[in-house]
């Protein structure tokens, strides 16, 4: 699609939408948001870029293959669940760090798990969109 | 303990990278792990010999009774020492055997992962964890057999092993779960006390059959034995480690482990003893007929596994001791013989014994190790093989059916003598032949393994009391679940088994001298190639593909509307069929709650829905569909579900994007379907919509009694430190579900990717494929 407005807009929309998606991911534990919707918003950012600039440019902007994102996401999620095994708690028991400065918020395994969800969703949607628009 | 088991997996992860750094010495470097574990496990010998055993447990899913628990008793310790001890030699050997192979690093990775799986299998105390490790050994074995993945024979052998042992694994899982349900626990150490409960339960026979199926497939009992000779496509270190010393003994281990729970019944003996004896004879018979050195060894391994099954079936105290001693003897001599065979074929380029001869002068150190191991395998004193064979004879002669079993044992011993000559004597003595590659003394890594294993067999054969109280007695005690006194000796006084041994030596030597003629005569009578179980496997496999092709052709029409129709009809049938006959309270009384803006939105959604159906242009339909989606999302927002609304908004935007991407490529057509087709599609659609409406109304009427919502609201912050209940449910309370969902998502993405990329690009560019 050769739309000057779209391609100019996406240049600014991409970082903004990505920022929004990360914001959604991080606030998800206490306010509406989370890994799932964050991943979807992030994916739509790249999808918009893909429509405006073509799939090759979109691939370059992402830098890694979306399939790598899926694998990393799944591993992150699974690893966050395994952490509790090492302190003798059942699989996927949430562990929260208590001594992190307040401005960082709380850091715990469920948040890491949510990051895994985010990456998987991002990777899955982009795998589908990139393959579709390439074919 | 957890770390001892997991260290192999961790090492497997880094092995390819480490290998790249220290290519020449990687074998010796990686061997440090198994030897360290070996030393670690030797510490347990003292405590285990004097006490019950050592248990350490980590909770995994306590609500399901699944814990990562480890139990070191005599039996698991014996196996752990074998796995790490032989593992050390095999890793060193692989460093030499595959030196310069481009994928050697990955090989070490598989090998160490296998070692860790096998350690987990023998050390765990939990039935489900045992199953997981059991399947992991099958998986790693698949990679190791198919290591030479460019050869079709290696690939199909790997698949065969995986399918046969995988089938058994599924049966095993069913058996273990049934057993756990009756016994009320999945921990073996606790199940031991409910043996009588399980033995007299009506489900005892199914449990025994299922578990035996698992053990028989893994330990290559007739008629599942055929995968083991095929697996000889694997590199020699793999055959040594997996297919003689450790993995194939997992079935024996399982039967021994469950002997206190399932054993000592008429059915147990009637199942294990005949199958074991037949396997023992079949393996011995087929070993004599083959000329490929690795296949010969594979068949004698089958035979030895059969003997151990038979002994477990007999189940007397002496039989169990015999099983343990023979297991140890077999691991030592068969490991040495496989390593020796690998060295010989590596140096000469052939595995056919009829082409081998005179290698003693070229590789004396390999030859010495091989010969000593062969003597042990033939049961010549003073080797451990002799001690093992004598105690097996004594165990068998105590039985009521002793004539049959003694006869089988006698014939098997003759075959072992012949095989010892064929494998341990023939390649090294006689005339030096011409070989595809010029043989010479291989380096240290090649001969140290066979020499150490064979030497150890000789030492403990001369002084068998070294084993008595430290290894054999604790292992036998663990199998019998009561203390056992063991007396091993090289010389037991005169017993008629000694006479049988002597006759076996003479007859064996006689057959060996006429081996070429004997083989030719008997081979012509051999129908097992035509009609044997290996053929059943082929028929089964092709039968499955035929059925798969038929079902695919009937079910997978390739038309999306057909798939949707099936899904929708199934949902209507299952939900409607089970719900509608009951009385459903419908929440129709709350019309007054509807506010004006909700009503307006409902009208908009309805109008958009009608537009979707009536639209002439696809793009209109897509946009209208988007309007419906956004409308539903707005409803979520009105009813204070912002998370749901946000996700729905994002999903709708992405779907519109996706559909536009696809539509972009479709031709403009006025009408996509005929009126009759539209009516056909409208019926299930209306039925589905009606069903969902009824469901929603019912849920509304029932919602006042719900208890889940208050529970999550109450526990979200104190237990999971999150204020957003929806997110806490997703990542914490129901985190396992989410884990499953993202896995499904990933699989779906791989499916889409392979369909679009591999399938279509293969069609579009056929010239690239050639």
Q: How far, CA to CA in Å, does A43 sit from each of A19, A62, A76, B753?
A: 12, 10, 19, 16
Which residues does chain B have within 8 Å of residue A47's beta carbon, measured at their own beta carbons?
654, 657
Asked if B86 contacts B240 with a C-beta cutoff of 8 angstroms, the reply is yes
Separation CA A107–CA A95 (nearest Å): 9
What is the reported pLDDT for A91?
78
What is the reported pLDDT for B676?
85
Separation CA B321–CA B306 (nearest Å): 16
Which one, of A135, A36, A67, lies nearest residue B727 by Cα?
A36
In B, minimum Cα distance to A48 occurs at B657
| Chain A contact for B731 (CB, 8 A cutoff) | yes
3-state secondary structure of B206: helix
Query: Partners of B58 in the beta sheet?
Result: B68
Asked if B241 contacts B284 with a C-beta cutoff of 8 angstroms, the reply is no
Query: Partners of B439 in the beta sheet?
Result: none
| Chain A contact for B753 (CB, 8 A cutoff) | yes
| Chain B contact for A124 (CB, 8 A cutoff) | yes
What is the reported pLDDT for B688?
92
Cβ-Cβ contacts under 8 Å between A and B: the total is 151
Mean pLDDT of B366-384: 90
pLDDT interval class at B497 (50, 70, 90): confident
Question: How many residues are recorded in chain B?
Answer: 770
DSSP assignment of B128-160 equals HHHHHHHHHHHHHHHHHHTTSTTSHHHHHHHHH
How close A76 gets to chain B, by Cα (Å)? 11
How close A61 gets to chain B, by Cα (Å)? 19
Which residues does chain B have within 8 Å of residue A129's beta carbon, measured at their own beta carbons?
654, 657-658, 661
Separation CA B187–CA B227 (nearest Å): 31
Mean pLDDT of B758-764: 62
How close B67 gets to chain A, by Cα (Å)? 8
Take residue B595 and report the two structure tokens written for it.
């506010």
pLDDT interval class at B327 (50, 70, 90): very high
pLDDT interval class at B613 (50, 70, 90): confident
3-state secondary structure of B30: helix
| Among the partner residues B661, B727, B742, nearest to A29 by beta-carbon distance | B727
Separation CA B228–CA B248 (nearest Å): 9
Asked if B505 contacts B378 with a C-beta cutoff of 8 angstroms, the reply is yes
Contact A32 B720 (CB under 8 A): no
3-state secondary structure of B584: coil
| Chain B contact for A73 (CB, 8 A cutoff) | yes
Q: What are phi and psi of A30, to 5 degrees?
A: -115, -25
How close A68 gets to chain B, by Cα (Å)? 11
Does residue A1 register a pLDDT over 60?
no
Interface ipTM: 0.90
Does residue B172 register a pLDDT over 90?
yes
In A, minimum Cα distance to B662 occurs at A132
Asked if B604 contacts B631 with a C-beta cutoff of 8 angstroms, the reply is yes
Highest mean pLDDT among B71-75, B173-177, B561-565: B173-177
How close A95 gets to chain B, by Cα (Å)? 9
Take residue A45 and report the two structure tokens written for it.
């950012």
Contact A51 B661 (CB under 8 A): yes
Contact B720 A110 (CB under 8 A): yes
Asked if B724 contacts A34 with a C-beta cutoff of 8 angstroms, the reply is yes
Contact B654 A40 (CB under 8 A): yes
The residues, ordered by sequence, that sit 6+ positions from B386 with a Cβ below 8 Å of its Cβ are B376, B379, B380, B461, B490, B501
Contact A44 B661 (CB under 8 A): no
Separation CA B294–CA B338 (nearest Å): 7
What is the reported pLDDT for B669?
64
In A, minimum Cα distance to B646 occurs at A37
Mean pLDDT of B68-83: 91
pLDDT digits (tens, 9 = 90+) for B128-159: 999 999 999 999 999 999 998 889 999 999 99
Separation CA B687–CA B691 (nearest Å): 6
- The packing angle between helices B402-420 and B364-378, to 10°, is 170
Asked if B698 contacts B587 with a C-beta cutoff of 8 angstroms, the reply is yes
How close A35 gets to chain B, by Cα (Å)? 9
Interface of A with B in 89-108 (CB under 8 A): 89-92, 94, 96, 106, 108
pLDDT digits (tens, 9 = 90+) for B4-17: 888 999 999 899 88
| Chain B contact for A54 (CB, 8 A cutoff) | no
Does residue B528 register a pLDDT over 80?
no
Longest dimension (CA), chain B: 105
Separation CA A42–CA A22 (nearest Å): 8
How close A86 gets to chain B, by Cα (Å)? 8
CA torsion, ordered B395, B397, B401, B403, to nearest 10 deg: 140
Residue with tokens 């009385």: B583
């Amino acid at each position: 699609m050769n739309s000057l407005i779209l391609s100019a807009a996406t240049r600014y929309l991409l970082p903004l939408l990505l920022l929004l998606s990360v914001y959604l991911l991080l606030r998800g534990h206490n306010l509406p948001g989370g890994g799932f919707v964050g991943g979807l918003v992030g994916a739509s950012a790249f999808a918009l870029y893909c429509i405006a600039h073509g799939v090759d440019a979109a691939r370059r902007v992402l830098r890694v293959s979306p399939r790598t994102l899926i694998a990393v996401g799944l591993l992150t999620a699974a690893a966050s669940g395994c952490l509790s095994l090492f302190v003798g708690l059942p699989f996927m028991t949430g562990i929260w760090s208590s001594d992190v400065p307040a401005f960082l918020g709380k850091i715990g395994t469920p948040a890491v798990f949510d990051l895994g969800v985010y990456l998987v969703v991002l990777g899955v949607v982009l795998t589908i969109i990139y393959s579709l628009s390439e074919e | 303990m957890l770390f001892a088991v997991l260290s192999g997996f961790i090492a497997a992860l880094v092995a390819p990278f480490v290998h790249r750094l220290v290519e020449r010495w990687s074998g010796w470097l990686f061997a440090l792990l198994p030897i360290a574990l070996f030393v670690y496990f030797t510490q347990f010998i003292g405590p285990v010999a004097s006490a019950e055993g050592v248990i350490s447990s980590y909770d995994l899913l306590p609500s399901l009774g699944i814990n990562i628990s480890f139990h070191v008793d005599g039996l698991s310790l014996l196996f752990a020492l074998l796995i790490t001890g032989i593992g050390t030699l095999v890793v060193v050997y692989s460093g030499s055997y595959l030196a310069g192979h481009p994928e050697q690093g990955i090989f070490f990775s598989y090998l160490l992962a296998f070692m860790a799986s096998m350690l987990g299998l023998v050390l765990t105390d939990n039935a489900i964890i045992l199953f997981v490790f059991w399947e992991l050994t099958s998986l790693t074995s698949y990679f190791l057999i198919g290591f030479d993945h460019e050869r079709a024979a290696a690939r199909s052998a790997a698949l065969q092993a995986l399918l046969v042992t995988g089938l058994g694994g599924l049966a095993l899982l069913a058996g273990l779960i049934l057993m756990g349900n009756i016994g009320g626990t999945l921990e073996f150490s606790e199940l031991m006390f409910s043996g009588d409960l399980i033995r007299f339960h009506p489900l005892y026979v199914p449990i025994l059959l299922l578990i035996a199926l698992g053990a028989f497939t893994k330990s290559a009992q007739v008629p599942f034995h055929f995968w083991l000779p095929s697996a000889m496509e694997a590199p020699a270190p793999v055959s040594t480690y997996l297919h003689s010393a450790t993995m194939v003994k997992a079935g024996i281990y399982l039967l021994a482990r469950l002997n206190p729970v399932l054993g000592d019944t008429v059915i147990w003996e009637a199942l294990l003893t005949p199958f074991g004896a037949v396997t023992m004879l079949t393996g011995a018979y087929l070993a004599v007929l083959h000329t490929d050195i690795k296949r010969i060894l594979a068949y004698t391994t089958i035979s030895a596994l059969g003997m151990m099954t038979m002994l477990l079936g007999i189940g007397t105290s002496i039989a169990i001791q015999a099983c343990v001693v023979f297991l140890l003897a077999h691991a030592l001599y068969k490991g040495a013989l496989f390593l020796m065979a690998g060295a010989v074929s590596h140096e000469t380029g052939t595995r056919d014994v009829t082409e081998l001869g005179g290698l003693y002068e070229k590789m004396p150190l390999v030859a010495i190790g091989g010969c000593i191991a062969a003597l042990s395998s033939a049961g010549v004193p003073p080797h451990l093989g002799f001690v093992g064979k004598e105690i097996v004879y004594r165990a068998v002669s105590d039985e009521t059916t002793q004539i049959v079993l003694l006869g089988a044992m006698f014939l098997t011993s003759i075959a072992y003598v012949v095989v010892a000559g064929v494998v341990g004597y023939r390649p090294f003595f006689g005339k030096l032949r011409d070989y595809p590659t010029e043989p010479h003394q291989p380096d240290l890594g090649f001969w140290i393994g066979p020499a150490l294993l064979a030497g150890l067999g000789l030492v403990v054969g001369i002084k068998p009391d070294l084993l008595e109280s430290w290894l054999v007695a604790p292992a036998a005690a663990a199998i019998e679940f009561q203390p056992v006194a063991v007396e091993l000796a090289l010389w037991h006084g005169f017993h008629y088994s000694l006479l049988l041994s002597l006759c076996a030596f003479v007859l064996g030597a006689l057959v060996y001298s006429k081996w070429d003629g004997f083989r030719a005569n008997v081979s012509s009578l051999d129908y097992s190639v035509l009609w044997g179980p290996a053929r059943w496997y082929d028929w089964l496999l092709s039968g499955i593909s035929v059925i798969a092709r038929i079902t695919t052709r009937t079910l997978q029409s390739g038309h999306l509307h057909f798939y949707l129709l099936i899904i929708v009809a199934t949902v209507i049938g299952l939900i409607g069929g089970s719900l509608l006959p009951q009385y459903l309270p419908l929440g129709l009384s709350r019309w007054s709650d509807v506010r004006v803006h909700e009503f307006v939105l409902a009208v908009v959604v309805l109008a958009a829905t009608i537009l979707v159906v009536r639209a002439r242009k696809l793009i209109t339909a897509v946009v209208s569909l988007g309007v419906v989606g956004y409308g539903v999302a707005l409803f979520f927002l009105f009813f204070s579900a912002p998370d749901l609304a946000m996700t729905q908004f994002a999903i709708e935007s992405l779907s519109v994007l996706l559909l536009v991407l696809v539509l972009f490529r479709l031709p403009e057509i006025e009408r996509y379907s005929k009126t009759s087709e539209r009516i056909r599609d409208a019926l299930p659609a209306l039925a589905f919509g009606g069903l969902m409406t009824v469901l929603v109304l019912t849920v509304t009427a029932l919602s006042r009694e719900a208890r889940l919502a208050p529970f999550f609201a109450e526990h979200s912050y104190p237990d999971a430190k999150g204020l957003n209940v929806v997110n806490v449910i997703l990542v914490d309370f129901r985190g396992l579900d989410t884990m499953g969902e993202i896995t499904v998502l990933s699989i779906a993405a791989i499916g889409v990717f392979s369909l679009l990329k591999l399938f279509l690009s293969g069609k579009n560019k056929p010239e690239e494929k050639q």
